[in-house]
Amino acid sequence: MLEALIFVVFPFCMLFAAISDMLSMTIANRVPVLLVAVFALVAPLTGMDWATYGWHFAAGGLVLAVTFGLFALGGMGGGDAKLLAATAVWMGLNVHLIQYLVVSTFIGGLLTLAILVYRKSPLAAVTSHNPFLRHFADETSGVPYGIALGIGGLLTFPNSPLMTWALARLAV
């Protein structure tokens, strides 16, 4: 049962956040809340010691402090900041968090470049009424960075502490 929660909740939240941000430029608060709540309930049941558990929440707090500052300066959306912090809780204050941040940043950079090129192309005018592409075509709109955060989360999740635990349980 715990394995199923680990296998389903995190990937579902990453996909939901990415698609939601693509369609509406928002990430609902329920996504990071669900991520943190499920981690808070499941992690101790996996045998994670309390010190490690605390460091996972410290990772979330640290990332939230930095990203909230970026949000206050207009450098990122509030949903992105909360999603990053909730994902940091799952990754922990370790190399897995760094891996997630690097992968998400790289994907976000590629996404941003692709959107900027797309906005300058004739294709943007033709596809601007498409519900999937309208935010990409709108030059006054920001970049739906939740796409990069979701993809980065999905790519780095297999190495995360809870997923490693769940995969080891299945191997037995």
What pLDDT score was predicted for residue 21?
95
Is pTM, for the whole model, over 0.85? yes
In this structure, what is the dihedral angle of CA atoms 4, 1, 90, 27, given to the nearest 10 degrees? 60
Q: Which residue stretches of 25-138 are H helix?
A: 30-45, 50-72, 78-91, 95-120, 122-127, 134-137
Q: Report the alpha-carbon distance of residue 136 to residue 144 in Å, rounded.
A: 8
The pLDDT-based confidence of 128 (bands split at 50, 70, 90) is confident
Indicate left, alpha or beta for 142 from its phi (over 0: left) and psi (-120 to 50: alpha).
beta
Instruction: For the chain, state the CA radius of gyration.
Output: 17
Looking at the structure of the chain, the number of domains it has is 1
Say what the pLDDT of residue 132 is: 78
Q: Which domain holds residue 60?
A: 2-171
Mean pLDDT of 108-118: 96
Decide if 127 contacts 137 (C-beta within 8 A): yes
The pLDDT of 136-165, averaged and rounded, is: 94
Q: What's the rounded Cα separation, in Å, for the pair 136 and 57?
A: 34
Please, which pLDDT band fits residue 126 given cuts at 50, 70 and 90? confident
Distance CA 117, CA 163 (A): 37
Residue pLDDT, tens place only, 31-89: 999 999 999 999 999 999 999 999 999 999 999 999 999 999 999 999 999 999 999 99
